[in-house]
Amino acid sequence: MNLPAKPAVKRIHPIVVTGGAGFIGSNLADRLAAEGEHVVVFDALARPGVERNLAWLKRRHPRLVSESIGDVRDRTAVDESLAGAKAVFHFAAQVAVTTSLADPCLDFEVNLAGTFNVLDTLRRHIAPVPLIFASTNKVYGDLADVALEKHDAKFLPRDPAVGAKGFGEDRPLDFRTPYGCSKGAADQYVLDYARSFGMPAAVMRMSCIYGPRQMGSEDQGWVAHFVKCALAHEPINVYGDGCQVRDVLFVADAVASYIAAWRQIGRISGRAFNLGGGPENAVSLLELIRHIESVLGEPVALRFEDWRAGDQRYYVSDPSAVRAALSLPPPTPWREGIAALVRWLREEDAASWPVQRNSVSAMRSAEALS
């Protein structure tokens, strides 16, 4: 049995990142340690490839990064790993809609019961511990009521105001699929613990985050998955017609937002924010694929498959609230961010990695990482 991690210096109160070996979690842990913070990575290491991220963190910050291998469904492991924490960033999750449909029980246990374990552990701490929770734009459902039309191989809203600003936090919640229900319910639990118990907590409803250390699969991390397929000269499976539009946000910008939220938790506690690249970083799947082709200088093979349950034809965040509340700078332009991702994947020799396709057996292994 793995013992709970202890900071390198006794009596130091660490920052705990659940799911800290995952894509965003490892980038966040790296940034915190670079700023001198002691970080505990609490992770089940269930998702293929994330052990690379943990090894990378420990090489870079041997005195500041500790590990605690455990599962958020294990209340004892959560209690032990969060003991003495001065802040918690909660990324540990089942991350794919497809997995939730194949195994809704696992999805519920990891995303909702696991988040409850984190919340109730922190509720019983004597001193308030800030919690920043990683939620999702899927809490807004499939947005089927939004009238769309196609322009240049991308869906766009007929309402020009929506196209200019994106969706704000006033958009009604509409949980669809087990994943939407589990993440949405966890999102609401976090906000209610802030109301009911005075917990200093906030929620980030993320759009598509991408960048270095993203392993990428068909079910989660589609931007990196597309680039990996292209580098490996393998076809990209496109579910739907490829005209779906998302606002993409470079991971360094997402990390800066999370750190700013923690440092300003006294002003934003009890609030949920839409975190994404905004209209200036909105791109369709086909548009992104064409850009990858131009960067690599070669065509990419495509295979078109049926639409997947709960897939939003168009989702673009209105990030004005989070940018104003946290005084965030403009985000990285998406073409610049894609170039950085391509450089990292080439340096990591990602073309030699197995491309993760949509399979129930593979999905069931992704139990506790975001």
Q: Which residues are catalytic?
A: 179
What the block records as the tokens of 269 is 């506690």
- At 29, the amino acid letter reads A
Residue among 25, 7, 3, 4 at smallest CA distance from 63: 7
Beta-strand ranges (E) seen in the chain are 15-18, 39-43, 65-69, 87-90, 131-136, 148-150, 155-157, 201-206, 208-210, 236-239, 245-250, 272-275, 282-284, 302-305, 314-315
- At 111, the amino acid letter reads N
Contact 41, 17 (CB under 8 A): yes
Q: What is the 3-state secondary structure (H, E, C) of 185-197?
A: HHHHHHHHHHHHH
String of DSSP letters for 253-274: HHHHHHHHHHHTHHHHTT-EEE
